[in-house]
Chains A and B, each alone.
Chain A
């Protein structure tokens, strides 16, 4: 475990007041700005917690859910099986896709104020029963697509269940749509792994929100429930401990790294986008645990703002580190617990953020760091 920065170093308001009154003009201005920001952040937190009550898709926007059935063929979207407002049907995969896309819409709406995939009320389209023996799910640029796993094999041979079974998979696919409309990260190499990780992050947050779990209570497993009992594994990926989700005679071992020193350079899988995403996933996990509470409220907010306002199609891991650090400073204040938690997350996976942190470098005391930040000390 690497060194963790102190998170208890908060500038006492009385000290800021004093600086605001008796410092040099530049110091006074800085102190006044810091005081104002702190007040804004407090207000924001109050507003945020008030907004964090369960919303419903009908009340929150115009987006309609439509679930189609491909009937084990590959023509998309297939025939309509259930649409917004319809009662549940007999087909469990249809209902899972319907409920899961609703839960995903709710998280984005309630926690981040987003109106569907495109932030403009886009319908949420899903197709289930895609192809035969299709142990996968994907986002085709317009809609979500789910296979039934190994339904065509004998029970003793089956490794995968239907892919709608896991709520975080639904959140993952839908988030690919959000990313497409925002940073639009290239689906290759580090950019692609970042794209993948953003889908894992928000996919996991959908599940945590649905279960009303705080960061320390969540399992941080991606694809929980996808494996049949024939597989030795808890899911496809672990954000808490990348590389440990499964270890199976047939499927092999979870290949995800949790640190830059184990970054995999490969031509497979668009440059290992589903492998190296473990590094970013783990950085997010550490940040969320450091901050505590509901992961979507702060860590999620930082990443949502970075995704929608800072990252672009060519952003790599280092850019993601720098920009989430910057974003955390903008939302919660320079040197805030939240900003330091972002830095700690990246440090744990071997990435150093490029920013001027407050409190300062090791060796300086808490007070000295604060004085430095206000220009009293060097």
Chain B
């Protein structure tokens, strides 16, 4: 079953926010949504975007997707995040900020 590990660092406050999701532990519809977002981003075929000068106070993001056979991580920032990753990122950010 899929696992998603998310970390957001930097920002004006310099505060790290992280999240670890085991899709097996989530309600089925939520797990399906997340799986779909990962698939639609073509996550496992993405590579880190080319580094850009860090934007002062911008966030940096790290997303890792793990299955029984694959472990893949993408590191990006506010200024170089691939468009394809945006819907997944938005979902992870929202989940990491809810409490």
Contact residues of A with B, CB < 8 Å? 74, 131-133, 135-141, 145, 150, 152-153, 157, 159, 163, 169, 172-173, 176, 187-188, 195-196, 199, 223, 236, 250-252, 255, 268-270, 272-275
Minimum CB–CB distance from A161 to chain B (whole Å) comes to 13
Please tell me if B26 contacts chain A, counting CB pairs below 8 Å.
Answer: no
Whether the Cβ atoms of A140 and B9 lie closer than 8 Å is no
Whether the Cβ atoms of B98 and A176 lie closer than 8 Å is no
Contacts of B49 in A (CB 8 A): none
Cα A130 to Cα B97 with chains together (Å): 17
Contacts of A132 in B (CB 8 A): 90, 94
Please tell me if B32 contacts chain A, counting CB pairs below 8 Å.
Answer: no
Whether the Cβ atoms of A236 and B55 lie closer than 8 Å is no
Contact residues of B with A, CB < 8 Å? 9-16, 53-59, 78-79, 81, 86, 90, 93-94, 97-99
Cross-chain contact of B99 among A145, A157, A173, A272 (Cβ < 8 A):
A157
Contacts of A176 in B (CB 8 A): 56-57
Minimum CB–CB distance from A159 to chain B (whole Å) comes to 8
Contacts of A269 in B (CB 8 A): 9-10, 14, 16
Cross-chain contact of A140 among B10, B55, B98 (Cβ < 8 A):
B55
Contacts of A236 in B (CB 8 A): 12-13
Minimum CB–CB distance from A133 to chain B (whole Å) comes to 6
Residue picked from B9, B56, B59, most chain A C-beta under 10 Å: B56
Minimum-distance CB pairs A-B, first 8: A274-B14, A138-B57, A176-B56, A138-B58, A269-B14, A136-B11, A140-B55, A139-B56
Minimum CB–CB distance from B76 to chain A (whole Å) comes to 12
Cα A270 to Cα B53 with chains together (Å): 12
Cα A272 to Cα B11 with chains together (Å): 11
Whether the Cβ atoms of A275 and B56 lie closer than 8 Å is no
Whether the Cβ atoms of B90 and A223 lie closer than 8 Å is no
Given contacts A136-B59, A137-B12, A163-B12, contact A187 B97 (CB under 8 A): no
Whether the Cβ atoms of A138 and B12 lie closer than 8 Å is yes
Whether the Cβ atoms of B93 and A133 lie closer than 8 Å is yes
Cα A244 to Cα B16 with chains together (Å): 18
Given contacts A136-B12, A236-B12, contact A187 B98 (CB under 8 A): no
Whether the Cβ atoms of A270 and B10 lie closer than 8 Å is yes
Q: A138-B55, A140-B55, A157-B98 are in contact. List 20 more A-B contacts (CB 8 A).
A: A74-B78, A74-B81, A131-B90, A133-B90, A135-B11, A136-B13, A137-B57, A138-B11, A138-B57, A138-B78, A150-B97, A153-B97, A153-B98, A157-B99, A173-B56, A223-B13, A251-B15, A269-B10, A274-B11, A274-B12
Contacts of B58 in A (CB 8 A): 136, 138, 140
Cα A236 to Cα B10 with chains together (Å): 13
Cα A159 to Cα B97 with chains together (Å): 9
Contacts of B12 in A (CB 8 A): 136-138, 163, 169, 172, 223, 236, 274
Whether the Cβ atoms of A139 and B55 lie closer than 8 Å is yes
Cα A252 to Cα B15 with chains together (Å): 9
Given contacts A74-B86, A138-B78, contact A187 B11 (CB under 8 A): no
Minimum CB–CB distance from B39 to chain A (whole Å) comes to 22
Whether the Cβ atoms of A275 and B57 lie closer than 8 Å is no
- Nearest residue (CB) in A for B86 is A74
Given contacts A268-B9, A269-B9, contact A199 B15 (CB under 8 A): no
Whether the Cβ atoms of A135 and B97 lie closer than 8 Å is yes
Minimum CB–CB distance from A234 to chain B (whole Å) comes to 14
Residue picked from B13, B16, B55, most chain A C-beta under 10 Å: B13
Minimum CB–CB distance from B18 to chain A (whole Å) comes to 11
Contacts of B93 in A (CB 8 A): 133
- Nearest residue (CB) in B for A276 is B14
| Selected A-B contacts with CB under 8 Å, 27 pairs | A74-B81, A132-B90, A133-B90, A133-B97, A136-B13, A137-B12, A137-B57, A138-B56, A138-B57, A138-B59, A140-B58, A140-B79, A141-B79, A150-B97, A152-B94, A153-B98, A157-B99, A159-B97, A163-B12, A172-B12, A173-B57, A187-B53, A188-B54, A255-B14, A269-B9, A270-B10, A274-B11
